[in-house]
């Protein structure tokens, strides 16, 4: 709209910052206006990060993803 881009959607706080994805493109970040709503993804990599942060396992314990679990 009027040379500006307006984007809205869901964003997991552990996901890449959408604004940072504009670097290397020909889109001027000043023309992009975004509004993100918080949600927590069930993607295994994000679940693993959340579990590690909340459980704080000792160095002898390693959490990992096996077949998307």
Instruction: Give 1-59 pLDDT, tens digit per residue.
Output: 888 999 999 999 999 888 888 888 888 888 999 999 999 999 998 999 999 999 988 98
Cα–Cα distance measured from residue 43 to residue 14, given in angstroms and rounded to the nearest whole number: 11
Residue 18 placed within a domain: yes
Q: Is residue 19 part of a domain?
A: yes
Q: Quote the domain boundaries for residue 25.
A: 5-55
Domain count, the chain: 1
Q: Is the pLDDT of residue 68 over 80?
A: no
Distance CA 17, CA 32 (A): 13
In angstroms, the CA 57 to CA 7 distance is 38
Q: Within a domain: residue 15?
A: yes
Handedness of CA 53, 54, 59, 65 (dihedral sign): negative
User: Would 24 be classed as within a structural domain?
Assistant: yes
Please give the DSSP secondary-structure letter assigned to residue 27: S
Q: Is residue 65 part of a domain?
A: no
């Amino acid at each position: 709209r009027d040379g500006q881009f307006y984007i809205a959607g869901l964003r997991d706080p552990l996901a890449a910052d959408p604004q940072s994805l504009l670097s290397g493109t020909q889109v001027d970040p000043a023309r992009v206006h975004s509004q993100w709503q918080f949600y927590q993804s069930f993607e295994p990599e994000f679940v693993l990060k959340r579990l590690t942060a909340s459980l704080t396992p000792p160095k002898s314990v390693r959490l990992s993803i096996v077949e998307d679990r």
